[in-house]
Amino acid sequence: MDGIMNKIRNLDAYPKINEDFYSRTLSGGVITVVSSVVMFLLFFSELRLYLHAATETKLVVDTSRGETLRINFDVTFPALACSIVSVDAMDISGEQHLDVKHDIIKKRLDAHGNVIEARPDGIGAPKIEKPLQRHGGRLEHNETYCGSCYGAEAADDDCCNSCEDVREAYRKKGWALSNPDLIDQCKREGFLQKIKDEEGEGCNIYGFLEVNKVAGNFHFAPGKSFQQSNVHVHDLLAFQKESFNLSHKINRLAFGDYFPGVVNPLDSVHWTQEQPSGMYQYFLKVVPTVYTDVSGHTIQSNQFSVTEHFKGAEVGRLQSLPGVFFFYDLSPIKVTFAEQHVSFLHFLTNVCAIVGGVFTVSGILDSFIYHGQKAIKKKMEIGKFS
């Protein structure tokens, strides 16, 4: 048994030295203090990395098909009334969403940007006779109202009971509503008067659009849009204005849900229109993104880059449609972010490397200083005796 113990004792890689042979120096003490501080700082840094999750980034080909794209937006127009501006969306597949109203909220703003309380339609409208029936006479007692669409009826029994109904019927026909005062419904509701009352107001529009996951565009523009000879146009004659101030601030624009670390480059972007009219264009490159946190929860979202362009009206040329346009295209590459913790064995390995590395380097430095001091001292003593 004693033989085995002696053999194990001979394998000791750390032979002990009697304390009587120790020689402690001032330089060694300074190096010990400095190395201890360095060792502690490196250990604390490694511990922090271990406790916090690391994010791994990968690029893969996006093979998803048939999905939808959610566009969240919040845009403020300081000089464009809510009754004027409309939201349209269309894509290369041919699908169109004109004058979108669902999932969108408009807030009227005064000249100082304060929210104005919405008022019911009809306030301020002129008081005239009873509504004009489709057959030409006025609405009689106990008679069901059926207003005329002024030639835009899709069927014989169609009724347009409001100014908005007439405008929508005209839009479907591809016609422009040039003079609303000639339309009985618009005259009764005070359409033009309402626009005049909102002159100088602004509008805050926010909400979301659900579109196909293909290239397309959405835009904010004055007037009701319609198709005319396969061209997308807006009816601006009804507003009886020569120019529109499309100064705007993009409070938020995001494609999909928020995830940690996402940067939306158009957030808080502000444009002030210097020319009487023009078209603001934003060309966006949307990159599908998948974010997976430590718990395994996955967020399907998107990032995007942007190029901005302003197309002003030039003298002697046909003016562009005034509006704020967002043209987006999707990248075939998908980015994946995955959060994961460093393994404990990896952490332990790094800690051992820190302790051993600092200890070894400080030992080499201490030995160099100690032997250097001895050599200098020896030379000085030789010089004294010579």
pLDDT, one tens digit per residue, over 260-286 is 888 899 999 998 888 877 889 999 999
| pLDDT score recorded for residue 101 | 82
Query: Which residue has 């995830």 as its token pair?
Result: 259
| Nearest to 72, CA basis, from 235, 255, 221 | 255
- Mean pLDDT for the stretch of residues 232-250: 75
| pLDDT score recorded for residue 240 | 61
- Mapping DSSP to helix (H, G, I), strand (E, B) and coil, where does residue 107 land? strand
Q: What are the sequence ranges of the domains in the chain?
A: 23-53+342-382, 60-122+201-339
- Return all residues near 61 (Cβ < 8 A) that are at least 6 apart: 332, 333, 334
* The pLDDT of residue 214 is above 70: yes
Considering only residues 379 and 287, tell me which one the structure prediction assigns the higher pLDDT: 287
Q: What are phi and psi of 286, to 5 degrees?
A: -95, 130
Select the highest-mean-pLDDT range: 95-109, 212-226, 245-259, 356-370: 245-259
* The pLDDT of residue 109 is above 80: yes
d(CA 102, CA 210): 10
d(CA 178, CA 300): 46
| pLDDT score recorded for residue 118 | 47
| pLDDT score recorded for residue 136 | 56
| pLDDT score recorded for residue 243 | 76
Question: Nearest 5°: CA angle at 78, between 101 and 329?
Answer: 55
| pLDDT score recorded for residue 69 | 92
| pLDDT score recorded for residue 237 | 59
* The pLDDT of residue 317 is above 70: no
| pLDDT score recorded for residue 121 | 33
Of the listed ranges 191-200, 253-262, 303-312, 332-341, the least confidently predicted one is 191-200
Of the listed ranges 34-48, 131-145, 313-327, 334-348, the least confidently predicted one is 131-145
C-alpha distances out from residue 201 to 34, 63, 107, 164, Å: 67, 46, 10, 21
Question: Nearest 5°: CA angle at 184, between 178 and 188?
Answer: 110
d(CA 91, CA 94): 6
